Amino acid sequence: MRAVMVNSMNAQVLREWGDALVYETVPVPAAGVGEAVVRVEACGVGLTVLNYMNGNQQWRAEWLPRIPGHELVGTVVEVGAGVATVRVGERVMAYFYLACGGCDYCRLAHEPLCRNLRGNVGVAADGGYAEFCALPAFNLLPVPDDIPPVEATAIPDAIATPLHVSRRAGLGPGDTVMVIGAGGGVGVHMTQMAVLFGARVVGVDVGEAKLAAARQAGAALAVDAGEPGAARAERVTAVVDLVGTPDTLSLGLEVLDRRGRLVVLTTFPGVTTPLAPRRLVHDEITVLGSRYASRWEVARAAELVAEGRIRPVVSAVTSLDRVGDLHTRLRARTLIGRGAVAF
């Protein structure tokens, strides 16, 4: 079933690893077996997109050319053979991981740990920096009514990821949580989520604008990482490091109180941090990895937005041809919360 009336579309295409996207006219994709085509209404723009474009994950020749963008929201306009879970006209958002859906981890709703993971939307399959996008129906989850497209782009990664982190770390009313990178796209939502779980939040970021965003998201205290010693003076029961540099990792370990948990989710090749086993034992601290979110968590994240308990923070919206402007602001670390492309 096909409701697309055009054959070509505008897209930002990555032809080599790095930052240079080419704004082109390309064919509208068709839905293969098990797939659906989405008319994209908006697509989120965050550091994860830039990291993947720079080949942070892997540099595979067969993944180029590629249309990036994984936080896409739109309306289904075509379904391929064998698709029973989405229908034409349904509003959907994309699940980031191209998981198999059938292995033991997928069946446990641990899809990011899929044994047959094919890669990610916008990396191993074309994403939302285009007017249309074809994805496996498995990767398309319903968007609750009344959530506008731009706001909804924050749900499948920037809000679902903090929900997974909060559950992994078992955050609760007894916790004080340091969020490192609290003014960024995941950070402002991580701060809100930790507060929703009952924790007190110490937000760490650079510059007054990002600290103000952290406070607005509910941080009881906002500390400038550029102020020597200020963040290191804090003592907290949990740290969520959204930056992932040797500096932030060492900060996270240093400020952990006894029984504290350090949650790591932003990683880069070659980055390591020293950790003395004796510290693990003496203070009973825990270092936790947190990988994206399950489809179930993405759906719960959408409910939290629909109920008004989490507020999507998308501070800059542009047209597809101008997406490079948002990338520039991301690289300069001046973008508050998330950015988005709207169609």
Closest CA to 244 of 272, 223, 217, 221: 272
Residue 106 makes contact with Zn ion by CB under 5 A:
yes
187-196 and 160-168 helices, crossing angle to 10°: 50
Task: CB nearer to Zn ion: give 106 or 249.
Answer: 106
Is residue 113 a contact residue for Zn ion (CB under 5 A)? no
Indicate whether 275 belongs to the interface with Zn ion (CB under 5 A).
Answer: no
Name the residue among 311, 329, 299 with its Cα closest to residue 140.
299
**Among 102-110, 166-174, 231-239, 294-302, which window interacts with Zn ion (CB under 5 A)?**
102-110
Report the relative pairing of strands 8-14 and 21-27 from DSSP bridges: antiparallel
Phi, psi (rounded to 5 degrees) for 240? -115, 110
Q: How far is the CB of 125 from Zn ion (least distance, A)?
A: 16
* Pick 9 or 114: Cβ nearer Zn ion: 114
Of the candidate spans 108-116, 186-194, 234-242, 287-295, the one that interacts with Zn ion by CB under 5 A turns out to be: 108-116
Segment near Zn ion (CB under 5 A), from 42-50, 93-101, 248-256, 323-331? 93-101
Asked if residue 288 binds Zn ion (CB under 5 A), the reply is no
Report if residue 103 touches Zn ion, rule: CB under 5 A. Answer: yes
Name the minimum Å distance from CB 97 to Zn ion. 9
Amino acid at 314: V
C-alpha torsion sign, points 121, 123, 129, 132: negative
If the CB atoms of residues 113 and 221 are measured against Zn ion, the closer one turns out to be 113
Residues 6+ apart with CB under 8 A from 290: 161, 164, 165, 168, 169, 263, 264, 265
Q: Closer to Zn ion at the Cβ: 3 or 108?
A: 108
Q: Nearest distance from residue 101's CB to Zn ion, in Å?
A: 6
Contact 171, 238 (CB under 8 A): yes
Q: List the Cα angle 122/128/134 in 5-degree steps.
A: 80
Among 114, 251, 299, 314, binds Zn ion (CB under 5 A): 114
Report d(CA 309, CA 322) in Å as an integer.
Answer: 32
- Select 164 or 261, whichever has its Cβ closest to Zn ion: 164
Q: Which of 100, 287, 306, 342 binds Zn ion (CB under 5 A)?
A: 100
Contact stretch for Zn ion (CB under 5 A) within 112-120, 145-153, 258-266, 319-327:
112-120
Name the residue nearer to Zn ion (CB basis): 99 or 214: 99
Q: How many residues bind Zn ion (CB under 5 A)?
A: 5
For residues 43 and 128, the answer to whether their CB atoms sit within 8 Å is: yes
Residues at the contact surface with Zn ion, assessed by CB under 5 A: 99-100, 103, 106, 114
